Amino acid sequence: MAIQPRQKPETVSTQYALDDQIGFILRKVSQRHTAIFAAAFPDLTAPQWATLAKLYESGPTSQNQLGRLVALDAATIKGVVDRLGARGLTMTAPDPADARRVVVALTEAGRKEAERGFPVAEAVTVETLAALSVEERAQLVQLLKALE
Amino acid sequence: MAIQPRQKPETVSTQYALDDQIGFILRKVSQRHTAIFAAAFPDLTAPQWATLAKLYESGPTSQNQLGRLVALDAATIKGVVDRLGARGLTMTAPDPADARRVVVALTEAGRKEAERGFPVAEAVTVETLAALSVEERAQLVQLLKALE
DNA sequence: GGACAATTATTTGCATACAAATGAATTTGG
DNA sequence: CCAAATTCATTTGTATGCAAATAATTGTCC
């Protein structure tokens, strides 16, 4: 069947505009953030950086707990930790107190990478929010945190 | 080397708080939206729905152009269109005017699915934003659109 | 103490995302 | 008009993201 020219959908009054939906807007803003992040961190993804930064501030943490802290489910945090470990930024060891657990920690290289990254990550945030005034930035963060 | 208990990073004054960074917050809000969306649309992902909705409002569109309209790159829109096509919601045909192009259009089933979906998608937006007042919702959308 | 529930980590499968490379077709500029 | 640049679609490879199933371990509670 050939494709016919579209007929105006007169019967269905569609107020719905995809471009105004919060989910669609969130995805586009996230895409822009991802691009800014990638330019600033050529060798780390945002979830990888989040994992490094959280390990730095929390210290050695079990893998699943670490995942909860950085909002990555068990399957995803495993992959992230595996890749960070393969690059020598993290190390793992069994938890002596709980045989189910794997404790993840930064290596010295991981600590240094985190410390190098902090100002860069700040710059990523600033660049992402550059179109907004200081008040608007605070407002946006506050509104988004209400939706977490 | 065994994992040592963390030492407080006194040397590095870290104002940086991952949980306050816009990228991290965006990811968490997107995750919540994804969960709400999945509960409302058990058989469609958000990008699939976006594609259906945009096809409904724009009519037959070349695949890459469609991707631009829904913010999916050429590789990603191809997969989405393939899966929608496999389910009979879209159909494709070569563009007679340009042999490079593939024109994507809704099938009758796709049109019906879109029309069924509009009110559901509205409800997803409402539920995602439920924690905010009407003014705050408008404010949030306005701020996010400034960052697109 | 022991059955049962819950937690932890792993694995598989599917669906975005995006970079990069490719080949075919079209557009552009001189 | 024609060589170069651009566009379009596809393919490959890597990295999330999430559901579901599994095995091992630990916690609960009667």
Q: Which of B8-12, B112-116, B129-133, B140-144 has the lowest mean pLDDT?
A: B8-12
All domains of chain B in start order, with CATH: 45-145 (1.10.10.10)
Residues A30, B130: contact at Cβ < 8 Å? no
Chain A residues touching residue B145 (CB < 8 angstroms): 25
pLDDT in the model for residue A10: 47
The residues in B 46-85 lying below 8 A from A, measured between CB atoms, are 46-47, 50, 53-54, 56-60, 70-71
Token readout for B75 is: 């590789």
In this structure, the dihedral spanned by the alpha carbons of residues B34, B39, B43 and B45, taken in order and rounded to 10 degrees, is: -10
pLDDT 10s digits, B61-113: 999 999 999 999 999 999 999 999 999 999 999 999 999 999 999 999 999 99
- Amino acid residing at A28: K
The pLDDT value given to residue A14: 58
Per-residue confidence band for B10, with pLDDT thresholds at 50, 70 and 90: very low
Segment among A33-42, B5-14, B105-114 with least mean pLDDT: B5-14
Number of Cβ within 10 Å of residue A46's Cβ equals: 22
Sign for the pseudo-dihedral over CA of A10, A15, A16, A20: positive
CA distance linking residue B24 with residue A145, whole number of Å = 10
Q: Is the CB of A26 under 7 A from strand D?
A: no
> Cα(B59)–Cα(B114) distance, rounded to whole angstroms?
12
Strand C close to A28 by CB, under 7 A: no
ipTM of the complex: 0.93
10 Å Cβ neighbour count for A91?
A: 20
What is the average per-residue pLDDT within A67-92? 98
**Please, where are the H alpha helices in B61-107?**
63-69, 74-86
Q: Please write the tens of the pLDDT for every residue from A13-29.
A: 558 999 999 999 999 99
Average pLDDT, chain B: 93
Q: Taking a C-beta distance cutoff of 8 angstroms, is the pair B46, A23 a contact?
A: yes
What's residue B123's pLDDT? 98
